[in-house]
Structure 1
């Protein structure tokens, strides 16, 4: 994946120069994302064989599932283990500290990956131009703010509403692609998104454990739905902007983006940790769901907790490592297949984990859950089949045009 910084400029059809140097902006007439340039199997290597794409997809999906399964187990262990003694219950409940450690670790892993991919000292700069800095900062800000708005919404919406909304992440991603970045999709992709979203929602809503985990509010208020909508909007902005960067900055790799975004995210969360004691004293802290009992601030309370219970520090390091490894696969998937395929993998991860649990422990799925599974895999299968036909038709048309041009000679 290594590239060099010295590549020639090419002249675009409109007369503007299109610089393909690493990380520089490829100028187009309207400045919009070029439709289809980073769709599945078209991202940075249109000539890759279908078999290679399938292997890449299985490799990336397997890496995401394995990494985030471990990540989820460690997260649950850290946040539910009682480190106290007797009646003095002590549970580590400092999510921003955990996210800060993870983003710092991911930035380090991303930078090491960039170093190993370089052929020369100047190759693969983390921030190759000023033009790319702003969309990267947008990703960092929306990524950092998304989770707090989601957690805050749980205080005002019931759990069923929350998980149903989170099952529909494909919808805001596609909506922002179309409206904000003017990207066009064939009709079958809209149908596939509808099938997968419906299937995941049905499977999740009919999961028996969902009825036991109603930890949110008993009802859904308009304010809570607004917070949840902001959470989904930020998720969609994150993924659609990542796709736009891949389309506009053709030589910018997944490792570079992973390192750059996590450096920015770490700076944002560190600033929040130092400012949180002052924010909590204002009215803003109450409305965004901050824990007002942490008068000393989350950072100091977390450090004091780890001093009392050093074992939690090792769990946090494992959590950060598995999350960073998962991000390696996420950014690889993003750069090769695009955000729609990535979000399809991530929203179905929980469902596939449940299915594996059912098979392993001999549990049973309800009929509606099997119906949801059928919709998801049916939608993915239809997309693969239609996508293959579409690609074959394009190749046939390209070959026919080539033969026609040769005859005219």
Structure 2
């Protein structure tokens, strides 16, 4: 039997579809229909759908402003309580007493922050395999090691900073702390081999320079520094003080960059989990110090590092018993610190350590500006220059981010239309 030629099929335009019941349906012709067609393709493609969901969940400017407001509000109150705890004189005028138990204070704060952090974890991060339970704080041994590292560095940073003030003047300390962005950026580039955009280097330099100029030209700070220098010029080992301050900055920078690296390597690890882990480990470390210090203080090592009597736990509890108001201030201080940490870890997880460090560094300068407005202090021209540099750097970064987002959106839109054209072509070939 000879082969018969089948009748030719009428080729329909790509915008016309023939449904299974024989009904011919015109879907239209235009870019809007191409987008609809591509939307179906995107939904069918799991990876593209996930990427689209991730972009939709990306935090925006208002989210960042809320984080900044929460950090400023919590830590401004925290700093007021800290000053009241450490500067208030208690007892009779003939035998005044002041609170000097920093490790005990940090232990109470980390303990309360652990509890607040667990509540934050419980209500925001569910266990991936056990409904109704929070995500594990230490999900694997691999993540525990870097968590222990940053718990150690964060616990050691403050003591090194306070110890440096015995050997250097206050203005040097403030200036170096204002340059906190530099070690963070340096460790990002050297330790973790990350490529940083050139404009971010410019932002870091502008913000650091602006805070430095503002601080150096503050009349009250300059007078305080001069007085401090005159009082402590003799016998001050500035080289050793700068070494201690460098260790403090290194620990601060290492803490922030390792936190970034943890979020990068462990994608499912959340900010509430890190907050809990950090504070639990810090509480263990500082509690161990309080318990063991009476036994270490009498040894040559304890005497060399200046541990004193080493009986800080008993002395702190005795002080609170004699002056109950201190106990309320300590609890308030710890609560503000815990709530501030929630805002900090949320900001860290959503925006990264460079943004977080920018917020914490500029908080000091904005606090000084608030003081100027509230109490009517005078700002010098050089200080206004510092303000301009800081906000110029921050504004420039915000502008660059807007431009980058617009460029990314344009490329994504072009890619969608390109994929739509390819799918239309493939659909036409199949119908032939």
- What TM bracket, shorter-length normalisation? 0.7 to 0.9
Unaligned stretches of 5+ residues in structure 2:
1-45, 424-432
SS of match in other structure, 1:247: helix
The verdict on how the C-alpha distance between 1:281 and 1:146 changes in structure 2, with shifts beyond 3 A counting, is same
Native 8 Å contact 1:153 1:228 kept in 2: yes
CA shift, 1:311, in A, is 1.4
How many residue pairs end up in the alignment? 366
Distance 1:72 1:333 in 2: 20
Q: 1:252-293: CA deviations, max 9, x gaps?
A: 2211111111000000000111222233334444554x352x
Task: Determine whether 1:386 maps to 2:400.
Answer: yes
From 82, 85, 102, the counterpart of 1:78:
85
Query: 1:74, 1:315 within 8 Å by CA — same for their partners in 2?
Result: yes
CA contact (8 A) 1:158 1:220 kept: no
C-alpha displacement of 1:404: 2.9
CA-based RMSD? 2.3
1:188–1:128 Cα change, 3 Å: same
1:173 matched to 2:150: no
Partner of 2:11: none
**Which protein is richer in helix relative to its size?**
2
Change (3 A) 1:390 1:155: same
CA contact (8 A) 2:188 2:257 kept: yes
Counterpart-to-counterpart distance in 1, 2:269 and 2:61:
23
Equivalent positions of 1:322-333 (< 5 A) are 322-333=336-347
Task: Find the residue that maps to 2:55 and give its secondary structure.
Answer: coil
Please tell me whether residue 234 in structure 1 is matched to residue 245 in structure 2: no
Q: CA contact under 8 A between 2:293 and 2:310: conserved in structure 1?
A: no
Indicate if the aligned counterparts of 1:204 and 1:210 stay in contact, CA closer than 8 A: yes
* Alignment check: 8 A CA contact 2:75 2:336 kept: yes
C-alpha displacement at 1:309, in angstroms?
1.2
Deviation (angstroms), 1:405:
3.5
CA offsets 1:329-382 (integer angstroms, 9 cap, x no match): 000100111010000000111110111111122222111111100000000000
The equivalent of 1:193 in structure 2 is 204
Match of 1:103 among 70, 91, 110: 110
Equivalent residues of 1:106, 1:327 under 8 A apart: yes
CA contact (8 A) 2:296 2:310 kept: no
The one of 250, 254, 260 equivalent to 2:271 is 254
Match of 1:298 in 2: 312
Q: Secondary structure at the match of 2:99?
A: coil
Deviation for aligned residue 1:161: 1.4
Out of 339, 361, 371, the position equivalent to 1:347 is: 361
Q: What's the CA shift string for 1:84-120, capped at 9, x where partnerless?
A: 1121010011000000000000000000112223552
- Is contact 2:125-2:272 (8 Å) kept? no
* 1:269 pairs with one of 278, 286, 290: 286
Structure 1 residue 395, shift from structure 2 partner: 2.3
- Identify if the C-alpha distance between structure 1 residues 149 and 68 changes in structure 2 by more than 3 Å, giving closer, same or farther: same
- Quote the offset at 1:122 in angstroms: 4.1
Residue 23 (structure 1) aligns with: none
Change (3 A) 1:287 1:232: farther
Which SS does the other structure have where 2:379 is aligned? coil
1:182 match: 193
- Which stretches in structure 1 are left out of the alignment for 5+ residues? 1-10, 13-19, 21-36, 38-43
Distance 2:161 2:272 in 1: 27
Alignment correspondent of 1:244? 261
The answer on 1:147 being equivalent to 2:154 is no
**Structure 1 residue 399: Cα displacement:** 2.6
Instruction: Give 3-state SS (helix, strand or coil) of 1:46's partner.
Output: helix
Cα separation, 2, equivalents of 1:390 and 1:237: 28
Higher alpha-carbon deviation: 120-129 or 274-283: 274-283
Alpha-carbon distance in 2 for matches of 1:324, 1:340:
21
Q: Distance between the aligned counterparts of 1:195 and 1:182, measured in 2?
A: 23
Task: With the length of structure 2 as denominator, give the TM-score of the two structures.
Answer: 0.80
Which has the greater radius of gyration?
Answer: 2
1:46 to 55, 69, 81: 55
Q: Matched residue of 2:56: which SS?
A: coil
**Contact 1:161-1:220 within 8 A present in 2 as well:** no
| SS state at 1:137 partner | helix
Aligned twin of 2:123:
116
1:8-23 to 2 correspondences below 5 Å: none
